[in-house]
Amino acid sequence: METSVKNLSIEKVKTSRLSEIDFDNLSFGSVFADHMLICEYVDGAWQSPKIVPYQPLSLEPSAKVFHYGQAIFEGMKAYKDSEGGVWLFRPQENQKRLNISAKRLAMPELPEEVFMDGLRTLLQLDEKWIPQAAGSSLYVRPFMFASGTGFHASPADSYTFIIACAPSGAYFSGKVSVLIEEKYSRAANGGVGYAKAGGNYAGQFYPTQLAVDKGYQQVIWTDDVSHEYIEEAGAMNVFVRIGDTLITSPVSDRILDGVTRKSILTLAEDLGIPTEVRKISVHELVEAAKEGSLKELFGAGTAAVISPIASFGYKGKDYELPELEDSYAHKLKKMITDIQYNRAEDKFGWRYSVL
């Protein structure tokens, strides 16, 4: 197996677990492929990466990830087309964003070739773990954490980078009802909201559970100062359609620069759909819902691609969105997935060949 990563070693599993897996009944992120890539940062330098059997890790109780939260990750998918070809979708964007997150959390940036070529080699090795059923894929999770030890509040002196993979079936979210958050914030100005830091997600769980207890599935986050402007939907970027115009919030210290978000904006503009990247106030959203000009509200991210929102709650009142036969959400999701699964022309150069 060819790779341009210097000194990449490969230790294959003695016996694959493939035969034990029911690929017709895969829950998200609970079954893991045979191998993982691991690369250590010690003595001020990244060491030679290794592909090894998927296995537990051994860490000291004093590993700084447990105490000071230096942990970042990315989320991607590998797709298999009808001819057995394997593809990634804009993986260079994930590689760049991982290093943006690393820099913000005072972690070492990872060499591009370790991420890209190591990922490609790992997927070639575990190619049979990529499902071919409609809507299925291999979820890919690159992540990095502080493995260096010590109780002193400072950056670690060593780090571990891993890529692990999990086959997943088609993602169906059903009808989603969300609550507009009025008290808690996902992120703040000057903070780490734009980084894919693990702590960002830990902080979301409690307010989300409060919303679930009220009968909603998710939260729409608002700005940290006034709670007047909507920013993200759960762990996804959020889009609003008022009339024929598709609107999304600008990226900032608080808002993640989502790969799916960028792709939606490009495709919408290519289709001639009017788009606006600007602040969206809760007042504007509520008034549009009352007037009937609010046509769609949806989240955008790797797992679901696009997740339509059926209703939202605010100040004790629920607002229903219309069910459209020819929605932007359906049209744009189909365009993205057709590119991902090699069913359509990719004039933007987003598809990345693995095999």
Q: How much is the pLDDT for 5?
A: 65
The tokens describing 135, both together, are 């809507």
Q: Using CB atoms within 10 Å of the CB of residue 130, give its burial: 0 to 12 exposed, 13 to 18 middle, 19+ buried.
A: buried
Q: How much is the pLDDT for 2?
A: 43
Q: Do 9-168 and 176-340 come out as alike in CATH topology?
A: no
Q: What is the rounded distance in angstroms from the CA atom of residue 306 to the CA atom of residue 332? A: 8
DSSP codes of every residue in 181-220? -SS--S--TTSSTTS-BHHHHHHHHHHHHHHHHTT-SEEE
Q: What is the pLDDT of residues 132-173, one digit of tens each?
A: 988 999 999 999 999 999 999 999 999 999 999 999 998 766
Phi/psi at 208 (nearest 5 deg)? -65, -40
Phi/psi at 115 (nearest 5 deg)? -65, -55
Q: How much is the pLDDT for 175?
A: 82
Domain 176-340, CATH homologous superfamily name and number: D-amino Acid Aminotransferase, subunit A, domain 2 (3.20.10.10)
**Residue 30 DSSP label:** -
Q: How much is the pLDDT for 164?
A: 98
Residues in the chain predicted with pLDDT less than 50, given as ranges, are: 1-3
Q: What is the rounded distance in angstroms from the CA atom of residue 234 to the CA atom of residue 186? A: 9
Q: How much is the pLDDT for 27?
A: 84
Q: How much is the pLDDT for 171?
A: 77
What fold characterizes domain 9-168?
D-amino Acid Aminotransferase; Chain A, domain 1 (3.30.470)
The ranges assigned to domains in the chain are 9-168, 176-340
What is the pTM assigned to this prediction? 0.95
Q: Is residue 256 within 8 Å of 191, Cβ to Cβ? A: no
**Strand 229-233 versus strand 137-146 pairing type:** unpaired
Q: What is the rounded distance in angstroms from the CA atom of residue 185 to the CA atom of residue 268? A: 29
**Residue 322 DSSP label:** P
The closest alpha carbon to 33, from 140, 120, 135, belongs to 140
Residues 6+ apart with CB under 8 A from 139: 28, 29, 75, 76, 77, 165, 166, 167, 168, 303
The closest alpha carbon to 256, from 290, 216, 299, 219, belongs to 299
